[in-house]
């Protein structure tokens, strides 16, 4: 009879729960078990990876471990159950891991590391397996996945996302939009409009940091998403120029930033942005009273920052402008589905008056959006 080996994903989940419990002021496993409605001995087995956390407990887990997001947890619990059914042989287990990775791209990074640990997970020495899981980065990878709220779009938003520029090359849909714009315009003006378009083709927009900040301010209530692909995450800490006001607009759903160079970790960046914004709003209490009332809720739900991991080549490609390396790409999605991108070479030491930014033309915008969507999808951001 084939030997049944342990499920390393289940063991990793146990290690993540144990680590989170330690960060919650050193709560005992018995206290956590009581909150989850489980026997203390059974919960200790879950942390040890020798018992499975049932999906029926998902809501209680999210309530107790408030950093864990519901949807990613459900994905993990389902994957554990699927892998448990494939423990007859190591070959079957590895094959199932590969299939799950194909079917569930949001968990692809976790499953990739999981496949590398399939052999060592068969060891009878639990501490050896735990060390291998931690050293491989799987524990940190799974914790990051569990604590990151997925960015989702409705079917209607997906249909209109990056429209019309997502469709490349020019399509009938775009021509229809142009036709709709021209409806009601006297034919006398058509030649003037076409001449203006031709003239604009030869003009490259130049945008400073202040001009981009003013553009944001003018369009605050028209933005629904902002996606940033950047090199150095420290550029995000400039709240003097960019004040993140759109986060508090009802139309705005999510600011998603993927960064290349790990000069700071994601949690540190988000914490420092939040602290700076809070101090700014507290200094002008009367003006920003409404924002302070729901400050934590808005920042936690609408600001998502993620390191690009080993996808440096994809980020570098997205940051090319006419084959010249740039540092920051910002993609603004408006409520009507239109997309306005800006790309610049700003660094944390840039002089504010420098002309360093531009907005790519239609063709390059289309190419950029395909790359950005692929990058976000590979990172499990669901765009």
Q: Each residue of 56-79: pLDDT tens digit?
A: 889 999 989 888 888 889 989 998
What's the angle, vertex CA 293, arms to CA 277 and CA 153, rounded to 5?
75
**Is-above-0.95 flag for pTM?**
no
Give the pLDDT band of residue 30 (cuts 50, 70, 90).
very high
Confidence category of residue 43, pLDDT binned at 50, 70, 90: very high
Band the pLDDT of 293: cuts 50, 70, 90. Answer: confident
The pLDDT of residue 165 is: 43
Token pair of 218, please? Answer: 């003018």
Residue ranges of the domains in the chain? 8-146, 155-378
Mean pLDDT of 19-26: 83
Whether the pLDDT of residue 371 is over 50: the answer is yes
Q: Is it the case that residue 319 has pLDDT exceeding 90?
A: yes
Instruction: Look at residue 160 and tell me whether its pLDDT is greater than 70.
Output: no
pLDDT (0 to 100) of residue 343: 94
Percent of the chain with pLDDT over 70: 82
Percent of the chain with pLDDT strictly greater than 90: 21
Q: How confident is the model at residue 156 (pLDDT cuts 50, 70, 90)?
A: low
The predicted-structure confidence for 338-370, as pLDDT tens digits, reads as follows 888 999 988 887 654 455 789 988 888 888 888
Give the angle subtended at the CA of 108 by the CAs of 102 and 113, to the nearest 5°.
120
């Amino acid at each position: 009879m084939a030997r049944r080996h342990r499920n390393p994903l289940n063991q990793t989940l146990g290690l993540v729960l144990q680590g989170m419990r330690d960060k919650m002021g050193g709560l005992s496993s018995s206290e956590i078990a009581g909150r989850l409605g489980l026997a203390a001995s059974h919960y200790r087995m879950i942390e040890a990876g020798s018992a499975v956390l049932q999906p029926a407990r998902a809501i209680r887990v999210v309530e107790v471990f408030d950093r864990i997001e519901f949807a990613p947890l459900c994905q993990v619990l389902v994957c554990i159950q699927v892998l448990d059914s494939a423990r007859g042989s190591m070959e079957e287990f590895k094959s199932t891991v590969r299939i799950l990775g194909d079917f569930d791209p949001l968990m692809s990074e976790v499953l990739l590391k999981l496949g590398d640990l399939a052999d060592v997970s068969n060891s009878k020495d639990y501490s050896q397996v735990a060390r291998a899981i931690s050293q491989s980065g799987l524990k940190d990878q799974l914790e990051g996945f569990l604590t990151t709220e997925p960015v989702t779009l409705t079917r209607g938003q997906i249909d209109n996302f990056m429209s019309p520029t997502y469709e490349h090359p020019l399509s009938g849909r775009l021509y229809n939009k142009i036709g709709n714009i021209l409806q009601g315009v006297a034919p006398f003006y058509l030649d003037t409009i076409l001449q203006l378009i031709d003239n604009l083709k030869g003009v490259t927009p130049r945008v400073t940091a202040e001009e981009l900040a003013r553009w944001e301010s003018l369009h605050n209530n028209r933005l629904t998403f902002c996606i940033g692909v950047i090199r150095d995450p420290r550029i995000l800490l400039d709240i003097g120029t960019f004040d993140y006001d759109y986060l508090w607009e009802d139309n705005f759903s999510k600011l998603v930033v993927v960064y290349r160079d790990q000069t700071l970790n994601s949690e540190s960046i988000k914490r420092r942005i939040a602290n700076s914004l809070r101090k700014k709003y507290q200094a002008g209490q009367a003006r920003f009273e409404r924002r302070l009332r729901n400050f934590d809720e808005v920042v936690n739900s609408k600001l998502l920052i993620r390191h690009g991991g080993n996808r440096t080549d994809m980020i570098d490609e997205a940051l090319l402008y006419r084959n010249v390396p740039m540092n920051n790409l910002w993609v603004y999605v408006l409520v009507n589905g239109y997309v306005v991108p800006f790309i610049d070479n700003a660094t944390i030491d840039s002089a504010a008056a420098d002309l360093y930014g531009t907005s790519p033309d239609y063709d390059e915008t289309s190419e950029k959006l395909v790359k950005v969507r692929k990058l976000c999808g590979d990172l499990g951001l669901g765009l």
